[in-house]
Amino acid sequence: MKLWLTSLISVLCASAQAADIPVTIYADAGYPPYAYEKDGKPAGLYYDIVRAAVGHMQGYKVDIQPVPWKRGMAMLRTGAGFALYPPYMNTKDEPWTWPYSLPLYEERVVAVCRKDILAAKPRKRWPEDFYGLTIGNNAGFIVGGEAFDKAVRARQLRVEEAKDSETNIVKLGLKRIDCYINDRLSIQWTLNQLKAQGKYDEGGAHAGIAEAAVIAVEQGFLGFTDRDNGKFTYKNDFVKQFDNAIYQMKRTGEIDNIARNFFKTH
């Protein structure tokens, strides 16, 4: 009898594991320290948060794959990809992304500029004080706001996109762009990494970069495709379980602990 029960339990456990639904979540590969690729694998604060959240869920085997942001967003737009982190909530420009999870973390979007650009003229009002400049942006990011987008269309300023934060900051150092817009922490973290690697030298007194203006306070989410036409039959349950996990992690302080440990070790 004991042998029979042991065999039955083994079969049931194996069946439960086999029943786990394989799910792929895509992650921005070029947005450190929040989301980036390291040695071919996903890394960053959002990776730690999402990985912990799916660890609280039942019935899914989740694989997280880093991709360039524009490619990940294109996969949501066509319904080929299930979910991507960390978009800001933007149903106007990205109507294919829905639903969004509960917010994962809060970010502060800023404009940083070369010091010689800031020495020439005070630049506090966004975007009016930046007319005539070339602004760097990560490819596919929509972070400048409506007034900024309108100014770009009116050719009052120019946007030049690059694949990631590192490329844009190097371009600032080479004076190929005047300013760069992104999350404050991402910019500072990437700048520190570049300096440590000897890839960025601030040079003379008027060289280097400094923060000019705060553009917005945003939140990063796990965004799901709304263009799958029912392909991902498990989506509603996954979203519900994921949101419940994030809610509980916030309530217990787990997300705060993850963030504290992440920035302590990076």
pLDDT tens-digit map of 22-61: 999 999 999 999 999 999 999 999 999 999 999 999 999 9
Q: Residue 24: beta bridge partners?
A: 63
Q: What is the pLDDT of residue 5?
A: 47
pLDDT tens-digit map of 210-224: 999 999 999 999 999
Give the dihedral sign, CA 70/73/79/82: positive
For residue 209, how many C-alpha atoms fall within 13 Å in the half-sphere facing its CB?
28
Measured CA to CA, the distance from residue 113 to residue 134 in angstroms comes to 10
Q: Is the pLDDT of residue 4 over 80?
A: no
Cis before residue 66, ω within 30 degrees of 0? no
pTM: 0.84
- Where b means 16+ CB within 10 Å and e means fewer, 15-27 reads eeeeeeeebebbb
- Average pLDDT, stretch 165-184? 95
The chain-wide mean pLDDT, for the chain, equals: 92
Q: What is the pLDDT of residue 15?
A: 47
Q: For residue 25, give both structure tokens.
A: 């979540």
Measured CA to CA, the distance from residue 158 to residue 64 in angstroms comes to 35
pLDDT interval class at 169 (50, 70, 90) = very high
- Average pLDDT, stretch 5-19? 53
> What's the Cα-to-Cα distance from 87 to each of 27, 37, 125, 182, rounded to whole Å?
10, 17, 25, 13
Which domains are assigned to the chain? 20-104+221-265 (3.40.190.10), 107-218 (3.40.190.10)
